[in-house]
Amino acid sequence: MRRLNSVKFVWKPNGSIPWMEMYQKLVAYKTQHKSTNVPFKYKKDPKLGSWANTQRWKFKNNELSEERINHLESISFVWSDVQWTAMYHKLAEYKRQHHGSTLVPLGYTEDPFLGRWVYNQRYAYNKGNLLGKRLKLLNAINFVWSLKNNASS
């Protein structure tokens, strides 16, 4: 290693970041956002969104080691839109039960994850990070994007 260092060997080709370093960034993202579903164009750390997407692609193509899969699954990594879709259906059910309202309170005690998820959808939308398919689905149920004009919330 000393010999390689003495000739200025490049340990990280093309500025790549080691896998565990990116994983730790993902853990920090999850701590802050309560989700591992990093937007592809995450402005605070563009490499993180791309990296997370690459992990999904490698998993789908059986190119991800079991060790890395285990690390990602230990933090409930979102492999696909399955979790998002499940939450979307919970929101549709909430709307049916609450007279057409999609104004789920952030502290909704019956399902705290739903309140957080709804908040995250608005946040992603306002940051320009909501995917087209998701945006269309939420618009299809008349999702309320802004709370400014809704004094009841």
Query: Which tokens in the block code for residue 50?
Result: 């791309």
Answer whether residue 32 is part of any domain. yes
Q: Spell out the residues 6+ positions from residue 137 whose beta carbon is closer than 8 angstroms to its own.
A: 88
Among 60, 75, 90, the domain boundary falls at 75
pLDDT tens digits along 35-87: 888 887 788 998 998 899 899 888 877 898 989 999 998 898 888 776 788 88
CA distance 122 to 150: 14
- Which pLDDT value is given to residue 153? 45
pLDDT band at residue 129 using 50, 70 and 90 as cut-offs: confident
Please give the tally of structural domains in the chain. Answer: 2
Instruction: Find the DSSP H helices in the chain.
Output: 2-6, 19-33, 46-60, 66-74, 82-97, 112-126, 132-140
Answer whether residue 10 is part of any domain. no
Query: Which tokens in the block code for residue 131?
Result: 């995917």
Answer whether residue 152 is part of any domain. no
Answer whether residue 151 is part of any domain. no
Among 58, 75, 92, the domain boundary falls at 75
pLDDT band at residue 112 using 50, 70 and 90 as cut-offs: confident
